[in-house]
Amino acid sequence: MSQTMQAAPSSDVSSAIDTPMLEIKGLLKQFGGLKAVKDFDLSIHQGELVGLIGPNGAGKTTVFNLITGIYVPTAGSIKYCNDSIAGLPPHEITQKGIARTFQNIRLFPNLTVLDNVRIAYHPHAGYGLFDAILHTGKYFQLEKELTERAQEFLAVFSLHDRQGEIAKNLPYGEQRRLEIARALAATPELLLLDEPAAGMNPGEVASLMDLIHFIREKFKLTILLIEHQMRVVMGICEWITVMDFGEVISRGDPEEIQNDPRVIEAYLGRGAAALSQRLREKRSDVA
C-alpha cells in the first residue's frame, strides 16, 4: 500500500493549530427571492467533531452543498486550510480533502460494493487512458494494488464478504455503512455526514456512534455532522451550531445548546422555552 494521507497544506505546524481547517464567513445563498442561507459563520479546527442541527428546512444540507461545491455561494467566503474553495467545482473540492455522505443515500445503485469503493480511488488511480486501453503491465499492477486497497478497506467496515453484491440490494444499514466507507476511501481530512442515522433503530444508532468514533480515530478525521437524532448529536459532538431559517441561532457545547431557549423554541415553537423553564423549576421544587 503506497499511498498515505495526502500532504497537509503548506502552512507550518504552529499556525496549522491556530488556523481553522474550515472557515466560513458571512455565507449567503439566495435562490431567486429566497435566502436559504444567510450570515452563516462556522470555524472548525482540525480533529474536532462538530454538529450542525436545526429544524427541517433550516438550510443545513444547503450549507453542505455550498461547502462541497454543488451550489455556488451568492456571497461570503469558504476557506479550507486557508484556501478559498467557494465556487470551485465539486470534484476539485473533493480532491482537496473534503468528502461527504448524503441525506438520501446516493450509492451507485447498480454497481457492486467493491466498485462503489474503487471509484473513490479514481482520481489517484495512477494510470491513464493509454494504459487502460492497452492493458499494459502498469495497468495490471496498479489495478491490482487499487483493488487490494479497496478490499482491505471494505474489511475494516465488515463489508468485504459483500464485495460482489449489487449496492441497491444491500440492506439499509449496510448501504449507509457503505456510503460512509466510500466517502472515506476518498481519503478526506474533513468528512461531512448528512443525517447518517436517518431511519436507524436504537441498536443501529449505537453502532453508528461507535463507528463514527472509530473512523475519527483511525483516519484522523475532522467531522461535521448534520443529524436530527439528538442522542447522536448530544452523545458525540464536541460542540454544536444550531440553524433556523437559514441563520445561526445558537452555538455551544451540548449542555449549553440543550438549555438555550432559542433552540428549544426553534424546535418546539414559541412559548416552549418558557414552558420548559417552568417545568424545570417545578422539578427542582419537588426534588
Partner 1 sequence: MKIRPQRTTIGFLVIAVLVIATIQVLINTQILSNFWATLLRIGAVMAIVSLGLNLIYGFNGQFSLGQWAFYAIGAYSAADVTFRWSTMNSASGVVILLFVTTFIGMSYLWIARLVRQVKGIDPLSAFAIYLVGTIFAGYLAVMIGKEVIDPATTFLASLPAGFAMQLVFVLAVLMAGVLAAEISYLFGLPILTLGSDYFGIATLGLTIIVKVLLDNSDTLLGFPEMKGARGMVGIPKLTSWLWVASFLVLVIIVTRNLLHSSAGRAIVAVREDEIASKAMGIDIAFQKTLTFVLGSFFAGLAGGLYAHINGFLHPNTFNFIKSFDPMIIIVFGGLGSVSGTVIASFTWALVLEGFLRLWLPDGFETWRFVVYPLLLLVMMLLRPQGLLGTFEFPFLKQILPKPLQSKIMADKTSSENSAIGG
Partner 2 sequence: MESTQLTFSQKIIQGKWIGKALLIFIALFTVWFIGSKAVLSPALFGQQVVNGIQLGFVYALIALGYTMVYGIVRLINFAHGDVFMVGAFTSYFAISFFQLHEWPAWIFPTISPWLTLLIGIITVMLITMSVCSLLAVVIERIAYKPLRNAPRISALITAIGVSFFLEYFGALPFVFTPNFITYKRPFPIVTWYIKDGIHRLEAGSAPPEGSVLFSNILIIIVLSSVILMALLQYIVRKTKIGKAMRAVAYDKPTARLMGINVDGIITTTFALGAALAGAAGILYATAYSQVFFVMGLIPGMKSFVAAVLGGIGSIPGAFLGALIMGQAEVLSAGYISTPMRDAIAFTILILVLLIRPTGIFGEPEREKA
Residue ranges in contact with partner 2 by CB under 8 A: 61, 64-65, 70, 102
With CB under 8 A as the contact rule, the residue among 94, 175, 229, 241 that binds partner 1 is 94
Q: Tell me the three cell numbers of residue 267.
A: 424546535
Q: Which residues pair with 250 in a beta bridge?
A: 242
Q: Mutual orientation of helices 202-219 and 172-185 as an angle, nearest 10°?
A: 10
The CB density around residue 115, as the number of other CB atoms within 10 Å, is 16
Which pairing describes strands 75-80 and 83-84: parallel, antiparallel, or unpaired? antiparallel
70 or 119: whose CB is closer to partner 2? 70
Least separation, in Å, of the C-beta of 203 and partner 1? Answer: 11
Region of 9-17, 22-30, 137-145, 234-242 interacting with partner 1 (CB under 8 A): 137-145
Which H, E and C letters describe 228-267, residue by residue? CCHHHHHHHCCEEEEEECCEEEEEECHHHHHHCHHHHHHH
With CA atoms as reference, report the closest residue to 245 among 227, 262, 222, 223: 262
Contact 262, 249 (CB under 8 A): yes
Least separation, in Å, of the C-beta of 102 and partner 2? Answer: 7
With CB under 8 A as the contact rule, the residue among 32, 33, 164, 203 that binds partner 1 is 164
95 or 276: whose CB is closer to partner 1? 95
Q: Which phi and psi (to 5°) does residue 74 adopt?
A: -75, -35
61 or 175: whose CB is closer to partner 2? 61
Which pairing describes strands 34-44 and 22-31: parallel, antiparallel, or unpaired? antiparallel
Q: Tell me the three cell numbers of residue 2.
A: 503506497
Region of 11-19, 38-46, 113-121, 220-228 interacting with partner 1 (CB under 8 A): 113-121
70 or 125: whose CB is closer to partner 2? 70
Query: Does 120 contact partner 1 by CB under 8 A?
Result: yes
Which pairing describes strands 83-84 and 34-44: parallel, antiparallel, or unpaired? unpaired
Block residue for cell numbers 433552540: 263
Which of the listed partners (partner 1, partner 2, none) does 61 bind, with a CB threshold of 5 to 8 Å by partner kind?
A: partner 2
Positions that interact with partner 1 (CB under 8 A): 68-70, 87, 89-91, 94-95, 99-100, 102, 106-112, 114-115, 118-123, 125, 127-129, 131-140, 143, 146-148, 151-152, 155-161, 163-164, 173-174, 177, 182-183, 186, 207, 210-211, 214, 218
